[in-house]
Every structure is written in C-alpha cells, then in structure tokens.
Amino acid sequence: MEPLPANLRFDVALSRGRRYPEPEHPYRNPFQRDRDRIVHARAFRRLEDKTQVFPPDLSDHFRNRLTHTLEVAQIARTVANVLGLDQDLTEALALAHDIGHPPFAHAGEEELDRQMQRFGERFDHNLHALRIVESFEQRYARFPGLNLTFEVREGIVKHSRDFQPGEQPDLDEYLPGLRPPLEAQLIDLADEIAYNTADLDDACSAGFFRLEEAAAEIPGFRELADLVAREYPEVSERLRFHEILRRLIDRLVTGLIEGTRQAVLEAGVKTVEQVRHHPERLVRMTPETARLSADLKSFLRRRVYDSEPVRVERRRSMALIAALFAYYLEDPDRLPEPYARQARLMPPHRVICDYIAGMTDGFLRRTCRRLGL
Ligand code: MG
C-alpha cells in the first residue's frame, strides 16, 4: 500500500521539546525516550489491575487495561507504519492513552465525575493522565513528572477530542482550535478497533452470546462467519469464532488505513501544519468500515454493557467509590501522607479524587474492606 505524503509524518526534529530542557540521548530520539518513560511509569504498571470491561474474578483470560493498551499499541503502530507516520510518537501515545483511567473502568470514571460535579468540577481521564505525567510521577531529581515532549502531552489531552480557545484555560498551551498530528488522531480509532473486537471475544467466551447470535445481528460479522464456515466446515465454534475475529480486526484496520488515505487525498493536505489547520480530523474509517464498527458497538451495548450482570457490577463499583469518597471527605486527615498534607493546602475533594483515581481495582477493594465500607 502507498504511504501518505512524507511531510505528513511528524518529524521528531521539529518537536517543540520538553518543559525542562535535557541533553540529547546518544541513540534514542525524544519520542523513543518518551515511550520508554511511559513504560517505566508506576501509573502504567497499575493498568494491570484495572478493569477493562469484565472483572477478573470471572475468568483468567479477560483483557485488563494493560493488555488492552498493548493491543491498541500494536494496531496503532501497524497503521502508522503503513501510512508512513512516526511510529515512536504513535506508540508513546498508544501506551499512554489509558494511564489516567480510574479503577473500575467507565463506572469509576462516571462516579468520580459525579462526585466532582458536586463541587462544580469534572473528572476526565485524559486530563488526569496529563496530571500524572506532569506531576504525580516522581522519578527525576530535577523536575516533577516525566518531562515528556510537547507532542506527547498534546496527544494525551487531544487524542479523543479537540477543544476551542478558552474552552479549557488550563490547556491553553496545547494549541486549542487546532487538530493534533495524524499520529495522535489515529489513537482513538485504534482504541475503538481494539476494544470492540476484544470485548466481543471476552464476552463470547464469558457466554454473553453465541456465535450465531452475533452473526444474526451484525451483517459484517455474518459475512465473515459464512466465509469461515465454507473454509472450515468441520472446526469447533470456538475456533470458527477466532477465525472470524481475526478477519474482523483485519477488515477494521484496513478500513482505517484506507479511509485515512482517502480523506488526506481528498483534503489535499500535504504538511503537518495543514493537518493542524484542517477544519476536521483526517483519520477515519471508510464509510462501510465505520458502519461495521458502529454495528459492533451497538451489539455490544445491547448484549454486554447494558446486560444485567455488567450493570450489577457497575452499580457495586460506583457505590464503593462513592463510599470511599465520602469517608475521606468527612475527615481529609484520614488520607495517608502526603495526601492528607496536600488536602490542607488544596481543596480536599480534588486531592481525594486524585488519590482514588490512581488506585487499582484491587487496592480500592482492599482499602474499602479494611475500612469496613
Ligand atoms: Mg482504551
């Protein structure tokens, strides 16, 4: 396949650099170093014990947020490679894309946001990720945080949405009103491909639906199921499912590559600056692939995310977070140091939110059990 025009690749030599200047490394460029810094961060390791969708006590094979992140990185790198974009920047962004996620998946994010809204504030996992890499990770003597390059920080706050000037004053340095480079734009769709297909896999093995039901309700899935049934009429349902899933990922990734190439050609965009000033994002799936992806999403919503067992688990998770939040808010001195000290200098709800958001599922459960909540 043809790569995109060479000037659409974000050239690491043009990086706006780091907040605290550092000497160059003899053989790793700044985006490669950022990727490595993310992998070595504590917040990255904690992803191992954060739920993606299904709590781990149901099965040993489900994705958690760490294995999900690796799948996103793998897909994103492939797309960047084929399109001729910068793989190191792409990989750094993919590895960082979920490090701001609180415990208990979306239920955790929703509950923390609900708690913060009582104080006129919000919880957003992308902004939380920025705070992690800017200040919470303490690994360097000379500066707080990981001192990542501008483009990685920009990608962390912009990979899933754009914002306008004045919309978020604390993000004014990240070029409001402009699109991020293509490397950052593709993370969101690589994420979508990874979670749709992985959730389908995990949910099928957990017995949420049968292969025939997915084939009956998702036209694109049925097409592949027929193909596989003709090719391998004798194999088990489980193997057929994997043969379908593999083709599904391939079709979605190919659609993302093709859709982006078409959008870039139609827009006539030839440089990163033009990508930034283009009125809309240029990374997209072809219309047929976007439909397949939307069909997968709505099937998963009906059969999995909105199903009774997942809803029960979500309610339980939200109640635990609410109870813990209330426990610390009642007396912020109950927080461990250094959070208790911080809570005397800053609004306590902010410190409590940061503390809980950083917890793994396991740590949160153990803490609640210890406190009798
Ligand atoms: Mg994700």
d(CA 251, CA 273): 30
**Gap from CA of 334 to ligand 1 centroid (Å):** 32
Report every protein residue that has its C-beta within 5 angstroms of ion ligand 1: 98, 191
**Gap from CA of 95 to ligand 1 centroid (Å):** 9
**Gap from CA of 220 to ligand 1 centroid (Å):** 23
Read off the pLDDT band of 143 (50, 70, 90).
Answer: very high
**Mean per-residue pLDDT, 13-33:** 97
**Gap from CA of 14 to ligand 1 centroid (Å):** 28
**Gap from CA of 119 to ligand 1 centroid (Å):** 27
Q: What is the pLDDT of residue 121?
A: 95
**Mean per-residue pLDDT, 157-169:** 86
**Gap from CA of 195 to ligand 1 centroid (Å):** 7
Q: What is the pLDDT of residue 253?
A: 98
**Gap from CA of 96 to ligand 1 centroid (Å):** 9
Q: Is the dihedral of CA 119, 122, 125, 131 positive or negative?
A: negative
* Partners of 64 in the β-ladder: 51
Contact, 52 vs 313, CB < 8 A? no
**Gap from CA of 181 to ligand 1 centroid (Å):** 19
**Gap from CA of 128 to ligand 1 centroid (Å):** 14
CATH superfamily of this structure's domain 6-310: Hypothetical protein af1432 (1.10.3210.10)
Counting Cβ atoms within 10 Å, is residue 307 exposed (0-12), middle (13-18) or buried (19+)?
middle
**Gap from CA of 21 to ligand 1 centroid (Å):** 30
Distances (CA, A) of 306 to 53, 154, 196, 313, 314: 12, 33, 15, 11, 10
**Gap from CA of 210 to ligand 1 centroid (Å):** 25
**Gap from CA of 57 to ligand 1 centroid (Å):** 21
- Residue span(s) of the chain under CATH 1.10.3210.10 come to 6-310
**pTM for this structure?**
0.95
**Gap from CA of 290 to ligand 1 centroid (Å):** 18
Counting Cβ atoms within 10 Å, is residue 306 exposed (0-12), middle (13-18) or buried (19+)?
exposed
Counting Cβ atoms within 10 Å, is residue 83 exposed (0-12), middle (13-18) or buried (19+)?
buried
Query: Does the pLDDT value for residue 275 go beyond 80?
Result: yes
Q: What is the pLDDT of residue 56?
A: 67
Work out the mean pLDDT of the chain and round it to a whole number: 95
Among candidates 67, 2, 79, which has minimal Cα distance to 253? 79
